[in-house]
Structures are given as C-alpha cells and as structure tokens.
Amino acid sequence: MNSAVTAVQDPPEVAKEVGRDRRRKEDQRLITGRTRWTDNITLPGMLHLAMVRSPFAHARITAIDVEAAKAAPNVVTVVTGRDVADEQGSLPNVWPIAPDQVTPAHPPVAVDRVTFAGEIVAVVVARTPAEARDAAELVDVDYEELPAVLDLKEAAAADGEHGVLAHPDLGTNKSGLWTFDSAEAGTGGNVDEAISRARGDGIVIEREYRQQRLIPAFMEPRSTVVDPTGEQITMWTSTQIPHILKFLLAAVTGTSEAKIRVIAPDVGGGFGGKLQVTPEEFITFALANRLGKPLKYTETRSESLMAAHHGRDQWQTLTLAAERDGTVTGLKVELLVDLGSYVSLLGGGVPVLGAFMFNGIYKFPAYQFNCQTVLTNKTWTDAYRGAGRPEATYAIERLMDELAVEVGVDPLEIREKNWIRHEEFPFSSVSGLEYDSGNYEAATAKAKASFGYDELRAEQRRRRDAGDRIQLGIGVSTFTEMCGLAPSRVLGSLDYGAGGWEHASVRMLPTGKVQVLTGASAHGQGHETAFSQIVADRLGVAFEDVEVLHGDTQISHKGLDTYGSRSLVVGGEAIVRAADKVIEKAKPIAAHLLEASVDDIEFDAGRFGVRGTDQGLAMADIALAAFAAHNLPDGVEPSLDSDATFDPVSFSFPHGTHLCAMEVDTETGGVLMRKYTCVDDIGTVINPMIVDGQVHGGLVQGIAQALWEEAVYDDSGTLVSGSFVDYLLPTSADTINYDVSHNSTASTTNTLGTKGVGEAGTIASTPAVVNAVVDAVRHLGIDDIRMPCTPERVWRAIHDAGGGGQEETEGAAAPHFDESTGMQGTVDRTDGADEGADR
C-alpha cells in the first residue's frame, strides 16, 4: 500500500474517446450468439405456457371447455379468465390524458368478453412448449359473436343509440379529449381569428392526412420467464422497461417490491413495442406464483404481430393559415386517435406528446391542438419509434409543401421564411416548450450542397418538360423533435404517472477498472460502448477498462429505462455527474497521499497532480488506496464510488434537414428511391459509428411507413397483415446508401451538449419520402397520396387525376416490380442514373 502512496505514476495513455468510432462492445456476444435471450433461459423444473386467443374481434364468451386440453400429455393445468378473475387485476394505464378519461378494465385474461382478435381467453401450462401449444388447440371456446367497430371515424361517431360500441357497457367509444390553445396558454394568439383573417386576404390550407397503423415488428419476439422459487420472484423478460415493470407488477398484484427482481437480458429490439407491461408478463407472473414453479412464455411471430401493441393509427385534420407571402399565421390540428380496444400503458399520452411538435421548427404565432382518443375492436396501440412526433412532423412537413405550392415558391424557401433563426435560440415555441439550440440555416445549406439540390431540380424540370414516363420528385423535411423524455415536472404537468430522471453509479474497482451502473436499459442501442467512451474520457481510464451494467433491477436498482431517445441525454448525463463526484471524492485522498492542499490538486486525463510540481497519482492509485483505507484523511469514507440522479430542466431538440429524390413511373405507379441526404444536429456525437447505425435504422423505419408498411384488418376484425408475407417489413435489398452527416450545435440541457438520435431518422424521413412522391406527380394534378405509397395507390392517384401514359424515356427500360415482394418498382436505367445502383 505504501508504494501506492508515494508512487508518481503516469496514467495510461488514453486517446480521447468521445467522438471516436468504436466498434460496439456488445456486438461480439450478440453476433456470435454468446448471449442469453430470454427464450434461451432454462431453469430446473420449468414449465411452459401457451395462450388460447380469440379469433373474433368482439364476442361474448359463453362457455370454455378445457377438459380435453387438461387431459393432453404433460399438461399441468389450464386456466381461464374466470379462474384468475380475483388475482389478475387490470393492466395499468399510467397516462390518463383527461380526468374523465374512459378507461375500460383490462384483465390479462378475458373473463366473459373479448374485444379484439388475439385477446387471451385461456392459458395452458405444460412440460414443453410444443405440448402447451398442442393442448391449447384442444381448448374449446364457445363465442357469441358481437358487432365489432373497426373504423376509427365510425367509432368516433358512434353513441349509445347509433353505431357500434367497442365496449357496450361504457356507452361511448370516446376515451379522452386533450386540448391545447396558445391563446389560453399565453404562448400565442387565437388560431380561429388567424384562420378567419387568412380566409379574407391570405391563404388557408385544409388537409386530412392518415397515419396508418404500424406494427413495431422487433426482431426478437417477446418472451418472459418467471422463477418464484428463490428468496425473490425473478422475472427475465424481453422488455425496454425493467424498472417500470417491476414497480407496476408490485403495484397491481400487491406483491412487495422488494420481493421482485426484473431482468431484461439482451433484448432483440423494441422500437417502442416493448415499452409496455403485457398481459403475458402478468399471466406468467401470476401463474408461476400460483404453481410455485418457474414458467416460460415465448410468443410466436404471428402472436407478436397480432397481439403486441401497434403504433400510429390517426386521422389528422389540419388547417394552416398564412399571409399571401407564405408567412404562417396559425395552425389548427384535430386528431382522431385509434387506441384499439384498451387504453394501454401510455395510451393517449403518445399522441399528446405529438401536440408539442406540430409547429416543428417554425415560428407560428397561433396554435390549437385537439386530440380525441377512441376505442375500437382492434389491437391496442401505444408507442412506436418517435411516438407522436413522427405523426406531427409528417403533418407539418406535408403542409409546408402545400403552402409552398400555393405561394409558388420552392419548399425550402417557404420553410426558411418561417423557421426560427439561429440567433433566436433559445426559443420559446408556440406550444410552450423552450428549444435549446439549433442552426436550421447551416444544416439546410449543407444538405442542399451534398444532395445536389439545384441539379436535381433542373433534372426534374427537364423530365417534366419532356413528359418523361419516369418523373422525378424531390422531398423536403426540416424536422425537429423533443427528445430525452424527462423533465419530471413537465411530465407531471401532463399527468404522466412517473418521473423522467435517470440514475447512475460509477464505481472505481480496486484494480483501477471501472464499473458503471445505469438505469437506462439498452435493447440494441449500444449503450455499453457509448457510455464506456464517456466514462473513459471523464476519468482518464482506458475504454476497455470500463464495464457498463444495466437492465437488472437488482444491480442497477434505480432507473426509468429506455425510450424517447433519453438514454444518452438523461442517463449519460447522470453517468457524467456520478463520475465527476468520484473525481471530487478522490481529490482529498490524493491531496492527503501527496501531502498537498486539496486546493492545489488538479485532475487531468486520469492523473491527480499537485499544481506547479511533477508530483501526482493516477486514478488507479487512488482507487486502491480508497479500497485499502489504510491511510485516508479523516472523515473520508473508504472506497471510491458515487451515485447521481439527473433530471433535466427541459427536453433537448435534435433537428435536421432531410432531402429525398424519388423516381415515379407514371404508367405503373412504381416508386424508386434515387437519393437520400440528411444533415442532423444531435449536438455532441459520442460514437459516430453508433449514431450512423441509429440514423440508418431510423430512416429505414420511416421510409417503410411512407412506402410499405400497414397493418390491415378485414371487415370482421381479423388482422390480414398478420405475417411478414403481408406486413411488408423492408430488407436491406429495399434500401439505398444514405448520405448521412451532421451539423452540431451543443444542447444546453446537459453538460455533454448532446441530443438524442434514436428516433430522429424515423421522425424525419416519412414526410421527406411522401413529399418526394407527391412532388414527382404534382404536375399531374395530385396533392396527396395516402401512405403507404404502394404502386397501386400511386397508379390510382395518377389515373384518377387523368394523368399517366407518357412516352417511355429514351434509354430507360420499362419499369418492373420486384416479383418476390411486389413492393417497389425497380428501374433498369441506362442513362447514367447510378445513384441508386447500390441498393
């Protein structure tokens, strides 16, 4: 020990980590399969569950005969909703959007009525998964089918006397109404006055846009294992929210929180779809406790598509008022939101988040937002990547294009006329938020140059003038989003049931290695790598010497998990603060050991030095001395570790300019992406490689909404797009090389200056693509094509407008569709358009 006291060691050579491409630490185990997904977990004596699900969207359960299933080989028990009626409770909604919100009780197993196709009516427990599934087929359920309400507008219009109710006992399909008015809030003027003024001598644009229903479709289906046999009840589950789930399991079932441990092992994607507490988790928990045995449930892909929550599903009615020169004077938004048959965990809170983003990057003087949530007999909806913000961004970015057409200027010009200028930050928006930083001018200029905007516009004109069969469209999306879902006060003011802070511990181990505990719960985002980079720089230790632990409520005992692109800006900042406390704690120890005054101790790159001398000690020396505690100053506790909890005062606001070029075949309606450029501002970039991956993945998800994906129900309420044959999830073959770069302005809400990136690509890209498709055919008299812009929809739009049928371009072969998917036209071109060749 004494040698550590007197040693003057150089800290290890440590390169600066933040801003550096680092391959993800976690990928080695993920890619080689040396990890444990929940479904890989096997415990002694473990039994397996299979669910019996309703084929009907709405029906009364008149009888359930479980005898044949019970008699099947190795079946342990079969349980119906009646059997667990007293103990199963109701799944929680933690974000009631109105005091009088209508919230149907949501039993994990339906008791006497089913309200969507896929709802669980009975549960089989057997020795193997196959035996459980076989026996589930033998459960004989008698249903009396009831009329189902599937159409969102019909559901909203129904009342006790006319139309069909999803839950007849509630007397209405309307669940909650949430409104915001800038005049009432004091953040702006009166929107109705702005609209009536514009009707007199300005421009009024009225549109109705549809946000189709989407399915998160994460790679790993949901899986849950519960072991009730130890001191605690341990649940391993494929979730984004182990801490929230633990709290809600305790709150709903009355089990002591101290008795529950929730572990999210490696999780194969979530995209908001695992931001949920599920019936399956509650059932597995309840039955494991009842039977006193470990239980496992893993859903099939079909169950996942049918019964895991869906996203989006809105009608948006929009009125934009502007002066003749294109200066916007007001925006009014009316939303109808399909909740499905229950109000899920966040329920109407998802579209309410969007309320703050319809004004985008613009200085609107008046704004009103009305959101009506509605119950139907379909799968419940909740968060899906972007959660409310992609819907809002889509609406405003589509509207700004329409305004540009009306005024007769370029879409970028109309945006520039209305956007917040760089020198106006921080900026208080009309929806009541303070935007931290941004530079829309710089991002747009960079994107324009990289995209070749002017050249592509010139090509577009040439093709139009020539009446080419293949027309070119250019789509613009200058988005912003509120990320880093946190400020607990703001969330509280919106009646969200939790806070938004995040917690971290940083522990110097005696060997000089560092252990970091974070309450964020990664499920594909690469936190172990990025957070190691932050800590390595902060403490001046090697990247390899930092270990990040997460996703286990026993290890990282405090936290609020991962969603809303919050992990870095909230969780990363908590780590920074805990690391800084470690440094502060180490300083008196260093001073004591170096026989210097604390005021003379300087910390730099992992070394505590005495100002004006060459005396110093490395962080590892202090860690060992703090661990041994042989010679600590009076009053200093042994060991070198610290905790921090961070709750920012505001969101952070990433933004970016996304430009997309689409080719549209006016004869077949086939669309083909030619080029996609985005310049995003996410503040300080921790790991460019991870960030690029996030942007690429996000873009593909947003493009997929624009072009391919849609959850479709038939008239009886059966999910038609219930497999990957019908639900058109893109593959790498459907993508092109995206031109991704950054223009950073530091966020002021955290010391790292970072803004989140996990949802940016998804939020920005959908309107960029649809704007491009519409732009390609606008000269034919088309101003909207409903998403997804399938070849059929594009073709119909062209033909309904009386267009199409132009001569084939010289040198361009006839377009055709990829016959394996039928999703997208491909163009075999010979005129040098090689941008899209590497798709």
Non-local (6+) Cβ contacts of 128 within 8 A are 48, 74
Buried b (16+ CB within 10 A) or exposed e, 708-730: bbbbebeeebbbebbeeeebbeb
**HEC profile of 726-777:** CCCCCCHHHCCCCEEEECCCCCCCCCCCECCCCCHHHHHHHHHHHHHHHHHH
∠ CA 392-394-397, nearest 5°, is 105
* Contact between 242 and ligand MCN per CB under 6 A: no
Q: Give, for 477, the enclosing helix (H) or strand (E).
A: strand 470-480
* Contact between 562 and ligand MCN per CB under 6 A: yes
DSSP string, 330-397: EEEEEEEEEEETS--SSTTHHHHHHTTTTTTTB--SBEEEEEEEEE-SS--B---TTTTHHHHHHHHH
Give the β-pairing of 59-65 and 113-114.
antiparallel
Q: How many residues bind ligand MCN (CB under 6 A)?
A: 34
Q: Smallest gap, in angstroms, from Cβ of residue 787 to ligand MCN?
A: 19
Biggest alpha carbon–alpha carbon distance for the chain: 89
The binder of ligand MCN chosen from 331, 682, 719, 763 (CB under 6 A): 682
The binder of ligand MCN chosen from 340, 683, 722, 815 (CB under 6 A): 683
* Contact between 756 and ligand MCN per CB under 6 A: yes
Residues 525-554 that bind ligand MCN (CB under 6 A): 525-527, 530
Residues 445-474 that bind ligand MCN (CB under 6 A): none
Nearer to ligand MCN, 372 or 562 (CB): 562
Q: Smallest gap, in angstroms, from Cβ of residue 791 to ligand MCN?
A: 29
Q: Smallest gap, in angstroms, from Cβ of residue 352 to ligand MCN?
A: 17
Q: Between the CA atoms of 71, 73, 74 and 77, what dihedral angle is there, to the nearest 10 degrees?
A: -20
Q: Smallest gap, in angstroms, from Cβ of residue 117 to ligand MCN?
A: 26
Q: Smallest gap, in angstroms, from Cβ of residue 749 to ligand MCN?
A: 12
* Segment interacting with ligand MCN (CB under 6 A) among 78-86, 268-276, 405-413, 774-782: 268-276
Nearer to ligand MCN, 270 or 411 (CB): 270
Nearer to ligand MCN, 107 or 484 (CB): 484
Nearer to ligand MCN, 483 or 812 (CB): 483
Q: Which two tokens stand for residue 97?
A: 């959007």
Residues 372-391 that bind ligand MCN (CB under 6 A): 385
CA atoms within 13 A on the CB side of 575: 32
Give the β-pairing of 223-227 and 295-298.
antiparallel
∠ CA 23-25-27, nearest 5°, is 85
Q: Which two tokens stand for residue 236?
A: 């391993």
* Segment interacting with ligand MCN (CB under 6 A) among 3-11, 99-107, 249-257, 684-692: 684-692
Using CA atoms, how far apart are residues 62 and 81, in angstroms rounded to an integer?
A: 12
Residue 147 CB neighbour total at 10 angstroms: 11
- Estimate the crossing angle of helix 242-253 against helix 279-291, to 10 degrees: 60
The binder of ligand MCN chosen from 435, 563, 651, 713 (CB under 6 A): 563
Residues 42-71 that bind ligand MCN (CB under 6 A): none
Q: Smallest gap, in angstroms, from Cβ of residue 19 to ligand MCN?
A: 9
* Contact between 618 and ligand MCN per CB under 6 A: no
Q: Which two tokens stand for residue 425?
A: 């930050």
The binder of ligand MCN chosen from 135, 589, 686, 827 (CB under 6 A): 686
The binder of ligand MCN chosen from 341, 754, 771, 824 (CB under 6 A): 754
Residue 670 CB neighbour total at 10 angstroms: 23
Residues 582-611 that bind ligand MCN (CB under 6 A): none
The binder of ligand MCN chosen from 180, 209, 271, 653 (CB under 6 A): 271
Q: Give, for 434, the enclosing helix (H) or strand (E).
A: strand 434-435
Q: Smallest gap, in angstroms, from Cβ of residue 724 to ligand MCN?
A: 17
Q: Smallest gap, in angstroms, from Cβ of residue 446 to ligand MCN?
A: 17
Site string for ligand MCN, 758-797 (x = CB under 6 A): xx--------------------------------------
Nearer to ligand MCN, 473 or 524 (CB): 524
Using CA atoms, how far apart are residues 785 and 656, in angstroms rounded to an integer?
A: 24
* Contact between 567 and ligand MCN per CB under 6 A: yes
Nearer to ligand MCN, 52 or 350 (CB): 350
Q: Give, for 573, the enclosing helix (H) or strand (E).
A: helix 573-594
SS3 call for 177: strand
The binder of ligand MCN chosen from 487, 697, 761, 767 (CB under 6 A): 697
Q: Which two tokens stand for residue 559?
A: 């936290």
* Contact between 687 and ligand MCN per CB under 6 A: yes
The binder of ligand MCN chosen from 152, 661, 691, 764 (CB under 6 A): 691
* Contact between 269 and ligand MCN per CB under 6 A: yes
Q: Smallest gap, in angstroms, from Cβ of residue 435 to ligand MCN?
A: 17
Omega cis (within 30) before 788: yes
Nearer to ligand MCN, 217 or 671 (CB): 217
The binder of ligand MCN chosen from 564, 606, 656, 722 (CB under 6 A): 564
Phi–psi pair at 367, nearest 5 degrees: -155, 140
Residue 441's nearest CA partner among 428, 453, 456, 423 is 423
Nearer to ligand MCN, 29 or 60 (CB): 29
Nearer to ligand MCN, 11 or 697 (CB): 697
Q: Smallest gap, in angstroms, from Cβ of residue 202 to ligand MCN?
A: 38
* Contact between 349 and ligand MCN per CB under 6 A: no
* Contact between 524 and ligand MCN per CB under 6 A: yes
Q: Are 656 and 683 in contact (CB under 8 A)?
A: no
* Contact between 565 and ligand MCN per CB under 6 A: yes
Using CA atoms, how far apart are residues 574 and 558, in angstroms rounded to an integer?
A: 12
Nearer to ligand MCN, 540 or 702 (CB): 702
Nearer to ligand MCN, 242 or 683 (CB): 683
Nearer to ligand MCN, 49 or 241 (CB): 241
Q: Give, for 705, the enclosing helix (H) or strand (E).
A: helix 688-707
Using CA atoms, how far apart are residues 678 and 249, in angstroms rounded to an integer?
A: 42
* Contact between 480 and ligand MCN per CB under 6 A: no
* Contact between 568 and ligand MCN per CB under 6 A: yes
Helical spans, DSSP H, in 138-208:
152-157, 182-185, 191-201
Buried b (16+ CB within 10 A) or exposed e, 321-349: bbbeebbbbbbbbbbbbbbbbbbbbbbbb
Q: Give, for 454, the enclosing helix (H) or strand (E).
A: helix 453-466
Please list the residues that pair with 226 across neighbouring strands.
235, 295
* Contact between 523 and ligand MCN per CB under 6 A: yes
Nearer to ligand MCN, 388 or 804 (CB): 388
* Contact between 685 and ligand MCN per CB under 6 A: yes
* Contact between 486 and ligand MCN per CB under 6 A: no
Q: Smallest gap, in angstroms, from Cβ of residue 383 to ligand MCN?
A: 7
Q: Which residue has the tokens 């802070």?
A: 501
* Contact between 272 and ligand MCN per CB under 6 A: yes
* Contact between 694 and ligand MCN per CB under 6 A: yes
Q: Smallest gap, in angstroms, from Cβ of residue 350 to ligand MCN?
A: 12
Nearer to ligand MCN, 762 or 809 (CB): 762
Residue 798 CB neighbour total at 10 angstroms: 25
Residues that bind ligand MCN (CB under 6 A): 269-272, 385, 523-527, 530, 562-568, 682-687, 690-691, 694, 697, 754-759
